[in-house]
Amino acid sequence: MYETVVNYKKLKSFMTASLQLKNKSTPMKKIMILCAVILGFAFTASAQDNEKAEFKFNEEKHDYGKIPQGTPVTTVFEFTNIGKEPLILTNVQPTCGCTIADYTKTPVKAGEKGLIKITYNAIASGPFNKTIVVTSNAKTPTKYLNIIGEVITKPATSTSSN
């Protein structure tokens, strides 16, 4: 924020000095002033973008390995807000009904950690690759997490009769 004020003050003093020249304004001077104004707005916009919240995950892809069919498995994706503003998760949406997501619903302050808990219900046998879409107010507003693994069919239980 302080840098934005300093940039604005420099731009203002430059424009004031340019307008106070004793010579008549030429088209070149007008173009230079216009360029200075555009650059000032660009620097201000980029400075504000650097202050946004941002994710840093410990991992963005989790491999469950081989899991038995019919057994739900859970993992937790931990993230840190490396931005300056509080990070607010607005939605965490798995791409299929076999996956359930729970997540930190309170704003995560700068430097603090949050959690996204994913539970996969291993009903169908075979390999799987599921995506979880995370939406937030971060500099990167949409983030994709993945879970992979292979569901192994449980052996049939045999009953012996004598």
pLDDT of residue 103: 97
- pTM for the predicted model, two decimal places: 0.66
pLDDT digits (tens, 9 = 90+) for 53-98: 999 999 999 999 999 999 999 999 999 999 999 999 999 999 989 9
DSSP 137: S
**CA contacts within 13 A on the Cβ side of 28:** 1
Please tell me the predicted confidence (pLDDT) of residue 52.
92
**What CA–CA distance (Å, rounded) separates 138 from 121?**
30
pLDDT recorded at residue 7:
59
Q: What is the mean pLDDT of the chain?
A: 83
Spatial contact of 87 and 137, defined as CB atoms under 8 Å apart: yes
For the stretch 127-155, pLDDT in tens is 999 999 999 999 999 999 999 999 999 77
- Output the pLDDT for position 18: 58
Confidence tier at 6 by pLDDT (50, 70, 90): low
End-to-end CA distance of the chain: 83
Per-residue confidence (pLDDT) for residue 61, from 0 to 100: 97
62 three-state secondary structure: strand
Closest CA to 122 of 77, 92, 153: 153
